[in-house]
A and B are shown apart, each in its own frame.
Chain A
Amino acid sequence: GDSVTQMEGPVTLSEEAFLTINCTYTATGYPSLFWYVQYPGEGLQLLLKATKADDKGSNKGFEATYRKETTSFHLEKGSVQVSDSAVYFCALTDKGGGTSYGKLTFGQGTILTVHP
């Protein structure tokens, strides 16, 4: 079945540092890929997405590129801020046929803490 693997956390950075959170996936169909973020005390919300190979999703200074050849969707940000401290989840929905169509599968989440 489909699966998503994220780099182990937690990740602790100083403000203005470069961020990479690795994400790789396994899917039987043709997935769309997502990064969701959960800020402290808040619900899950979409950060960015990409629906086909070589697409780049971007939002709030974060970027991720859909790499079919390496089955990856790594999240990057050039200069993190304290306000970026949150839990980040990589996810996919499978566009293949059958009951898996549209099913949303998450990675285990990566806790990011940014210090001033």
Chain B
Amino acid sequence: GAGVSQSPSNKVTEKGKDVELRCDPISGHTALYWYRQRLGQGLEFLIYFQGNSAPDKSGLPSDRFSAERTGESVSTLTIQRTQQEDSAVYLCASSLQGGVPTEAFFGQGTRLTVV
């Protein structure tokens, strides 16, 4: 596609339920990032996929959070047993990695509300 696509754009879920967020990066982009942005806050790094290397999971806040990426395409972020503090906009970005890392392109985000 022309840009990074995220789905759903909005998700309301009940506390304790599992949710799955999807990200379709720009075709050919080898790097993919997930961030979380709480209301009025900055960007909180969650996880980073770089080609076929082991992902950097250092930002995942708890073991309820996990993410997968199939090759260099789609990624899914799964949150199990959601809590109210998980409410935030979840942003995905991709970039073309080469000798010099290039700019990252962001999706519009998924707004998650846990009630």
Contacts and interface: CB of A to CB of B under 8 A. Distances in A.
Bind each other: yes
Interface of A: 32, 34, 43-46, 49, 51, 89, 93, 95, 99-109
Interface residues of B, number: 25
B48 interface: yes
Most chain B Cβ neighbours within 10 Å, of A32, A101, A109: A101
B42 A107 contact: yes
B79 interface: no
Contacts of A43: 91, 106-109
A107 B107 CA distance: 19
Contacts of A46: 103-105
Nearest to B31: A102
B43 to A, nearest CB: 4
Interface residues of chain A: helix, strand, loop or mixed (majority) = strand
18 contacts: A34-B103, A44-B43, A44-B91, A46-B105, A89-B42, A93-B95, A99-B56, A101-B50, A102-B97, A103-B56, A104-B33, A104-B45, A104-B93, A104-B101, A105-B45, A106-B43, A108-B41, A109-B43
Contact of B50 (A89, A102, A108): A102
Given A101-B50, A103-B45, 17 more contacts: A32-B100, A43-B106, A46-B105, A49-B103, A99-B54, A99-B56, A102-B31, A103-B33, A103-B50, A103-B56, A104-B33, A104-B93, A104-B95, A104-B101, A106-B35, A106-B43, A109-B42
Interface in B45-89: 45, 48, 50, 53-54, 56
Contacts of A100: 56
B100 to A, nearest CB: 6
Contact of B106 (A44, A93, A95): A44
Most chain A Cβ neighbours within 10 Å, of B43, B91, B106, B109: B43
Nearest to A34: B103
Contacts of A95: 100-101
